[in-house]
Amino acid sequence: MTQRFWKLPRYKQHLFSLLISLISMGLATGLAFMYYHVVPDNSANIALVYILALILVARYSVGYWYGVVCSVFAVICVNYLFTYPYFQINFTLTGYPITFLGMLAISLLTSTMTSHLSHQAMMIAEREKLLAEAEKEKMRANLLRAISHDLRTPLTGIIGNSSLYLENGAFLSEAEKIKIMTNIYDDSNWLLNMVENLLTVTRIKGDNLSVNTSEEPLEEVLAEALLKLQKRYPGTEVQTAIPEEFLLIPMDAILIEQVIINLLENAIVHSGTTKPIELIVTADSNAVSFTIKDYGVGIPKEHLADLFDGTSYTPSQTADARKGMGIGLSICKTILAAHHGTLIGRNHDSGAEFIFTLPRFGKS
Q: Quick check: 218 pLDDT over 70? A: yes
Beta strand 238-241 pairing with 277-283: parallel
What value does the mean pLDDT take over residues 30-53? 79
pLDDT of 193 over the 80 cut: no
What is the average pLDDT across 37-48?
73
pTM passes above 0.85: no
Given a contact cutoff of 8 angstroms between Cβ atoms, the answer to whether 111 and 64 are in contact is yes
What does the pLDDT read at residue 42?
65
**For residue 356, pLDDT beyond 70:** yes
Look at residue 320 in the predicted model and tell me its pLDDT: 45
Assign domain 210-364 one CATH number from 3.30.70.1350, 3.40.50.10860, 3.30.565.10, 3.40.640.10: 3.30.565.10
Instruction: Report, as an integer, the average pLDDT of 12-39.
Output: 86
Could you tell me where the DSSP H helices lie in the chain?
3-6, 10-38, 46-59, 65-81, 96-168, 174-201, 218-232, 253-270, 327-338
Of the given ranges (21-30, 195-204, 341-350), which has the lowest mean pLDDT? 195-204
Q: Mean pLDDT over residues 200-209, rounded? A: 62
Of 38-42, 273-277, 307-311, the poorest mean pLDDT is in 307-311
Percentage of the chain modeled with pLDDT above 90: 21
> Residue 309's closest CA among 335, 327, 324, 336?
327
pLDDT of 317: 43
For residues 67-89, average pLDDT: 78
* 152-167 tens-digit pLDDT: 778 888 999 999 989 9
Q: How many residues does the chain have?
A: 364
Q: Please list, in sequence order, all residues whose beta carbon lies within 8 angstroms of the beta carbon of residue 18, skipping any fewer than 6 positions away.
A: 66
Mean pLDDT on 291-318: 73
**Residue range(s) of every CATH 3.30.565.10 domain in the chain:** 210-364
Contact 217, 246 (CB under 8 A): yes
What values do phi and psi take at 169, rounded to 5? -55, -35
Q: Which residues, at least 6 apart from 36, have a Cβ–Cβ distance to it below 8 Å? A: 43, 46, 82
Q: Rounded mean pLDDT of 298-311?
A: 76
Q: Which long-range contacts (CB under 8 A, 24 or more apart) does 138-141 make?
A: 138/309, 139/330, 139/334, 141/310
Computed over every residue of the chain, the mean pLDDT equals 79
Q: What is the mean pLDDT of residues 10-33?
A: 86
For the segment 64-76, what is each residue's pLDDT rounded down to a tens digit? 778 778 878 887 8
Report residue 208's pLDDT band, with 50, 70 and 90 as the boundaries. Answer: low
Q: How far apart are CA 307 and CA 262, in angstroms?
A: 14
How far is Cα 90 from Cα 80, in angstroms, rounded to an integer? 8
- Ranking 4-8, 64-68, 196-200, 249-253 by mean pLDDT, the lowest is 4-8
Query: What is each CA distance from 49 to 34, 90, 99, 109, 231, in whole angstroms?
Result: 11, 21, 13, 18, 73
